[in-house]
């Protein structure tokens, strides 16, 4: 089992081309649909976005529920700016409410999707303190570890390669 449902590639497989080719469904073309036209998240994003913005327009502030739904779409968006905005919204919710485990998970997921693994790890560890046996958190933690160790190996290879070049350069200079 996966700790999170796929947002793009697998959804593309299952959502028929009829919808994929018609992101302007019902003649209405929403920002969210353009951003993520072929995923489930993209298909509902416009609604959550509108609900959130309408509340702000009408009452001056959004509700925790509306914020939560919109932030969820943003964290799962393909666009990094959206991911960052989603993380900020979940951080606000985390400070204000009773949705600790959900907020911690989605902040960690947001950072993971951004490739900011140390930040992702901070939040997934906080979730694991509350729920040490949460399988989704454990899987996300393992996924972060895997990517961090890969990055570290690549980093080491680059540093190793560079030192060989520098070394050769120094040798050549000395020969002159």
Partner 1 sequence: MASYNYSYIFKYIIIGDMGVGKSCLLHQFTEKKFLPDCPHTIGVEFGTRIIEVNGQKIKLQIWDTAGQERFRAVTRSYYRGAAGALMVYDVTRRSTYNHLSSWLTDARNLTNPNTTIFLIGNKSDLESQRDVTYEEAKKFADDNGLTFLEASAKTGANVEESFIETAKTIFQNIQNGSLDLNAAESGVQQKTQPAPAVDLGDKPAANSGCGC
Residues that bind partner 1 (CB under 8 A): 1-10, 12-16, 18-20, 36-41, 43-44, 48, 65, 68-69, 72, 77-80, 83, 99, 101-102, 105-106, 112-115, 131, 133-136, 143, 147
Nearest distance from residue 163's CB to partner 1, in Å? 28
Question: Please, which residue, 30 or 106, has the CB nearer to partner 1?
Answer: 106
Q: Between the CA of residue 108 and those of 115, 119, 149, what are the distances in Å? A: 10, 7, 18
Residue 135 vs 169, nearer CB to partner 1 = 135
Nearer to partner 1, 8 or 92 (CB): 8
Residue 131 makes CB contacts below 8 A (sequence gap 6+) with 101, 137
Q: How far is the CB of 98 from partner 1 (least distance, A)?
A: 9
Q: Min. distance of Cβ 168 from partner 1 in angstroms?
A: 33
Query: In this structure, are residues 84 and 114 in contact, taking their beta carbons and an 8 Å threshold?
Result: yes
How far is the CA of 24 from the CAs of 32, 162, 172, in angstroms? 11, 50, 63
Q: Is the dihedral of CA 68, 71, 75, 77 positive or negative?
A: positive
Contact (CB, 8 A) for 120 and 112: yes
Return the DSSP state at 97: S
């Amino acid at each position: 089992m996966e700790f999170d449902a796929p947002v793009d590639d697998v959804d593309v497989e299952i959502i028929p081309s009829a919808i994929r080719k018609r992101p302007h469904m019902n003649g209405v073309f929403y920002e969210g649909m353009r951003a993520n036209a072929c995923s489930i998240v993209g298909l509902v994003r416009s609604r959550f976005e509108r609900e959130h913005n309408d509340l702000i327009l009408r009452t001056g502030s959004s509700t925790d529920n509306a914020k939560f739904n919109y932030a969820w779409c943003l964290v799962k968006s393909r666009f990094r700016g959206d991911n960052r905005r989603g993380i900020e919204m979940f951080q606000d919710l985390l400070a204000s409410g009773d949705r600790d485990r959900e907020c911690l998970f989605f902040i960690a997921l947001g950072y993971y999707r951004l490739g900011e693994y140390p930040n992702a790890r901070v939040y997934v560890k906080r979730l694991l303190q509350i729920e040490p046996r949460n399988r989704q958190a454990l899987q996300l933690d393992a996924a972060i570890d895997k990517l961090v160790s890969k990055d570290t190996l690549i980093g080491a290879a680059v540093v190793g390669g560079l030192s060989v070049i520098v070394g050769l350069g120094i040798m050549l200079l000395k020969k002159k």
